[in-house]
Amino acid sequence: MADLQALANAVIGGERENALRLTEEAIDEGVKPSVIINDGLIAGMSVVGEKFKNNEFYVPEVLIAARAMQTAMERVKPLLAEGEMTSRGKVVIGTVKGDLHDIGKNLVAMMLEGGGFDVIDLEVDVSPEQFVSTAAESGAHCIALSALLTTTMPSMKDTVDALVEAGLKGQVKVIIGGAPVTQSYADEIGADGYAPDAASAVDKVTQLLA
Ligand code: B1M
């Protein structure tokens, strides 16, 4: 019988091949793809998130776990029947204009995906206009902005302002983060939320979209 706890454990341990094998076994046994994703992959990643928050896991462990999760996810996602699994929301993420740091942003994107959100990753050096037009075109619920340079933080405010100008403020939530970013900066620029790390970002987006 398919062992979804073992699958979750394989994700936690970053065992990519094991995670893929257990996913294929579950598929062969007829377990619903949504159950494999929720009770195996997302369950595993949420433990990873907790361990990261509690400093039991560091960046390399999270990246390796996320890679195992993504490999298994790629196998099972195409099998989802239409409407079988409702996304928890769509998030457009990127590192702001002028900023090329992407390690933290990638972690946040992977944790959000592992948390059951649809993620559109615009990568790095993303202008306010790109964030807003992608959110509008894709019907996203949230824009997630990462900045690592104090000099690029103003682009976060420009993005919030561009959202206001597009008449989407409130309808599309904005969450910000990155090493130099603080809650008081989020309050100052009118962002809806701030998170200090990738696991907290999942909690914050969940809360904002509730
Ligand atoms: Co750069 N760099 N860098 N750099 N770099 C910093 C950020 C710096 C603090 C180093 C230093 O001087 N001590 C400094 C910034 C100073 C400042 O502005 N206050 C700096 C500088 C100055 C620069 C350049 C200007 C250097 C130069 O060329 N003279 C240049 C700028 C390039 C550019 O972006 N235009 C530059 C270049 C680079 C590299 C390309 C060499 C490389 C980036 C590689 C890459 O990302 N692909 C790099 C690196 C690696 C760093 C350090 C060493 C590490 C950053 C990192 O990846 N941390 C960094 C010093 C440091 O932080 N110790 C530094 C690990 C990562 C997991 O953490 O990104 O903080 P972090 O993400 C965390 C949280 O912040 C949070 O969650 C993550 C996981 O918990 N988080 C979010 C991040 N985004 C979030 C979004 C959220 C929520 C949470 O919601 C949406």
Domains and CATH numbers, the chain: 4-79 (1.10.1240.10), 90-209 (3.40.50.280)
Residues with CB under 6 A from ligand 1: 59, 98-105, 107-108, 144-146, 148-151, 175-180, 195, 197-198, 201
Ligand 1 atom closest to the Cα of residue 105 is: 84
More confident residue, 121 or 1: 121
Residue closest via CA to ligand 1's atom 26 equals 149
pLDDT in tens, 158-196: 999 999 999 999 999 999 999 999 999 999 999 999 999
pLDDT-based confidence at residue 125 (cuts at 50, 70, 90): very high
In this predicted structure, which of 52-66, 73-87, 96-110 has the lowest mean pLDDT? Answer: 73-87
pLDDT at residue 84, as a whole number? 74
Query: DSSP states of the chain as a string?
Result: ---HHHHHHHHHTT-HHHHHHHHHHHHHTT--HHHIIIIIIIHHHHHHHHHHHTTSS-HHHHHHHHHHHHHHHHHHGGGPPTTSS--S-EEEEEEBTT----HHHHHHHHHHHHTT-EEEE--SSB-HHHHHHHHHHHT-SEEEEE---GGGTHHHHHHHHHHHHTT-BTTBEEEEESTT--HHHHHHHT-SEE-SSHHHHHHHHHHHH-
Query: Cα(48) to centroid of ligand 1, in Å?
Result: 22
Share of the chain above pLDDT 90, in %: 81
Distance 196 CA to ligand 1 centre (A): 14
